[in-house]
Amino acid sequence: MNAFRARQGLGPLQVSPALTRAAQAHAEDIAGRSFTQYGLGRSGSIWVQKQAASR
């Protein structure tokens, strides 16, 4: 990936400590609520389900 970025004149990817902390907190929240089927439902999209529920 960094080779591709270099060809585009971009710097290498770097780890973001803030993003890592946010991702860990989100993962712990999901695990703590036993929410294991993230993003997909019978319709194929949690967003489709939420839109349908809001109508």
Please give the pLDDT value at position 31.
80
CA distance 47 to 45: 5
Is the pTM of the predicted complex or chain greater than 0.75? no
Which residue, among 16, 14, 19, has the nearest Cα to 2 in the 3D structure? 14
Residue 42: per-residue pLDDT: 55
More confident residue, 36 or 4: 4
Encode pLDDT of 7-54 as tens digits.
Answer: 999 999 999 999 999 999 988 887 877 766 555 555 556 667 667 777
Question: What pLDDT is recorded for position 45?
Answer: 66
